[in-house]
Structure 1
Amino acid sequence: MSEDTARGRGHNFNRRDLLRLSALAGAGAIFAPVLSACSVDSGTGSGSGSGSGGASPKVIGNGLTEKKQLTPFQFGGAAGEVPAGVPKRIAWANTSDAEFFLQITRSIETAAKARGLEFVTAIANDDSAKNVEQIETFLQRGIGALCIQPLDANAQAPLMKRAIEAGAAVLSLVTPPSTSQAVADQYKVGNAQGMAAAKYITEKMGGNANVVYFNTDTIEVLKARHQGALDGIKTAGAGAKIVSDIQPAAITQDGGFKAMNTILQQHPDVNVIVGGDTYCLGALSALQAAGKARPDMYLSGIDGDEQALAEIRKGGAYKASFAFAYPLMGYAWGQFAADWLEGKPIPQVMQFNAIELNSAETIDKYQADMKAVDETWKNSATYFTMLGSIRYQDREQFINYAA
């Protein structure tokens, strides 16, 4: 391994890219905000201040504060107590109108409509104070479920707990406290990417490769992804040499472009590049500008970036991207909100499975599945591993740690 190491300070985080890189990373990440599909004023329901629209809050303590081994979630579990006085209303505390979140918005609304729930949402535009104010409005009106992503985890947490106490399901992307938390096993994600690269090196390069890995170690939880990728690459044997392991100065394509230009000065024979799609797309541009891009190279990213998928379709150097089913997550949130309001169990953790998109066929299937989430939901195990179980009557068992 070379002397190149990740630099821990002074990085410029592009909003759109940070979303996707850290959406699964951990509490406290800065997120960007989604178009308001419904006004926060729409619908009916009086505000009691409890967040339930009339139900009496329950003292629920601190929930589960230490990580525990969760058993696989089983659909069709026995229903328990049905929430009384809790409105059939699901709220989505958005932070941006980025397409990433628009997809989630549409999916939540689709599921809510199918299950007879009112759907309300609001946009914070990256303003933490506005985000808190909007969530307060939801709680005053009364909600049966709150979908939320991190913007200011410390400010959001008390409101999330209030919602749970009042009887609502809290469905979160990464951050606690929540009744159901969407996360990813970052080591597993990175290892899948590294193993795929090792397979190509072994089968197509005779076991010999000069590898660049772009890490994002300034996001603490993504250090596990980093290690998983390196462990996977190492399975190709000693001939797979990691000549540079570095974090570019900005999580942007330009950051990847500049970092790759510097690397090429010392290692002009690089032929494998692994990291996030944003970095790797920038690196591909650098290779092309230097006249070094070849179809027998191997580049792979993470996130399922549309530009990366377009490159994979060309059949050139960009071979794969590992994507996450965010639209399906939104649809699941809507379904679980309805189940919760019927007293049925929902999973405590929804663990994303990274899907390898390495051909036009795999891309076509993934994109079709994300456009038809109501049908894809029937085979959700492809995209998620669901763990643990919690019902309205068991809500004191909410997760109060980053799963």
Structure 2
Amino acid sequence: MTDHPFDRINRRDLFRLSLLTGTGLALGLPALTACSVDDGTGASGDATTKPIGNGLTEKQTLKPFSFDAPAGAKPDLPKRIAWANTSDAEFFLQITRAIETAAKERGLDFVTAIANDDSAKNIEQIETFLQRGIGALCIQPLDANAQAPLMKRAIEAGAAVLSLVTPPSTSQVVADQYKVGNAQGLAAARYITEKLGGKAKIVYFNLDTIEVLKARHQGVLDGLKTAGAGAQVVADIQPDALTQDGGFKAMNTLLQANPDVNVVLGGDTICLGALSALQAAGKARPDMYLAGIDGDEQALAEIRKGGAYKASFAFAYPLMGYAWAQFAADWLDGKPIPQVMQFNAIELNSAQTIDRFQADMKAVAETWKKAETYFTMLGSIRYADRDQFINYAA
């Protein structure tokens, strides 16, 4: 069997790609038959369970979310939040701990299960949650096609479905890809202007085979233009493999034609590989500018060294988990929650900014007070108007 580049991405990178591009790993599993959401006594946890249509199927212009909007009717559901986790990697466990922290604060029962990247097991675990009875379901895109019927059932039963990108959901976590890319391009342009005299030979590693990331690509290029004509993009390509090895090989090839490259942009995984190639060729210099996206731990370690790797644009995943449980509790109180939570890409370009970000992610309860730093919240939905659930990739 041919080894596809996506098969060589580690689980955390795969999660990031699915989260930030809206892709799921559709494995073609059959849709499961419908059944009621049970509260543990054999009776439906919500007397008003009924079909509620297809929700919002076309992209909407959503207004900024307000925590002060009025509450409405409350669902008659267990005060229980479930997290359909797929991996026991530390990254996912950080999200788990954040959900649990907020759940305890708000008096919610928290249940979770780990599928170990097994889609069929993940579906089975979600079924168990629904049969037990839940007021909210947190879910990430492991198998979007097979999960969708379960998510719709939960919404029809009155539960809040809090998802990473994948519809149908009450509230989706997404990223504005143009904005993410533009932030990266603008930061590079500032460095070129201030530190390189406005002259640079730039390599950009794009991901254009993923349709939604074409917006990120354009954002980067638009940001770079602000550095002026002296900033030249000498290569704009996608590596054969979305791995550090793929970045290493692509950069090695590029150096043969462009030995004076001094700016490299892309995702952290690829840029770390490019850095290795520069080091192996004896061309890595402290005055270079390499910057990635994702807040990869290895990238942050490189930034701390003060060498060629200057920045990474990170996302507040633990705070997302804390927000999920807060919004689950609000939903069960009849209060509104945002239909969309957009990640704000946080530029980490020094030991100080990294320390601050990491401290914020460890103290999510305190960080929640300044959630607008890390998220842009849009739209509004309550249990009373749950038929307005999002049924498109926001």
Matches within 5 A, 1:352-363: 352-363=343-354
Within 2, Cα distance between the matches of 1:321 and 1:91?
Answer: 32
- Scaled by the length of structure 1, the TM-score of the pair is 0.91
CA positional deviation for 1:361: 1.0
Coordinate RMSD, CA, aligned: 1.6
CA positional deviation for 1:156: 0.6
Contact persistence 2:83–2:137 (CA under 8 A): yes
Within 2, Cα distance between the matches of 1:90 and 1:55?
Answer: 19
1:46–1:199 Cα change, 3 Å: same
1:99 maps to 2:95: no
Within 2, Cα distance between the matches of 1:329 and 1:336?
Answer: 10
- Could you list the runs of 5+ residues in structure 1 that have no partner in the other structure? 1-8, 32-43
Within 2, Cα distance between the matches of 1:278 and 1:27?
Answer: 18
Equivalent in 36, 40, 45 of residue 46 of structure 1: 40
CA positional deviation for 1:30: 7.0
Name the residue aligned to 1:67.
Answer: 59
1:288 maps to 2:258: no
1:177 maps to 2:168: yes
CA positional deviation for 1:10: 5.1
- Could you list the runs of 5+ residues in structure 2 that have no partner in the other structure? 28-37
Within 2, Cα distance between the matches of 1:206 and 1:258?
Answer: 29
Matches within 5 A, 1:3-402: 12-14=7-9, 15-29=11-25, 45-46=39-40, 48=42, 53-84=45-76, 86-402=77-393
1:132–1:12 Cα change, 3 Å: closer
In structure 2, give the amino acid aligned to 1:17: D
CA positional deviation for 1:277: 0.6
Percent of aligned pairs sharing the same letter = 81
In structure 1, give the amino acid aligned to 2:246: G
CA positional deviation for 1:129: 1.6
Within 1, Cα distance between the matches of 2:165 and 2:14?
Answer: 14
Contact persistence 1:257–1:279 (CA under 8 A): yes
Contact persistence 1:309–1:363 (CA under 8 A): yes
Provide Cα deviations, 1:198-225, integer angstroms capped at 9, x if missing partner: 1111111111111000112232211211
1:55–1:142 Cα change, 3 Å: farther
In structure 2, give the amino acid aligned to 1:268: P
Contact persistence 1:322–1:354 (CA under 8 A): yes
Contact persistence 1:319–1:358 (CA under 8 A): yes
Deviation larger for 192-201 or 55-64: 55-64
Contact persistence 2:46–2:75 (CA under 8 A): no
SS of aligned partner of 1:307: helix
SS of aligned partner of 1:251: coil
In structure 2, give the amino acid aligned to 1:79: A
Deviation larger for 16-25 or 193-202: 16-25
Aligned residues: 380
Name the residue aligned to 2:35.
Answer: none
Provide Cα deviations, 1:131-190, integer angstroms capped at 9, x if missing partner: 111111111111000000111111111110100110100000001101100001001000
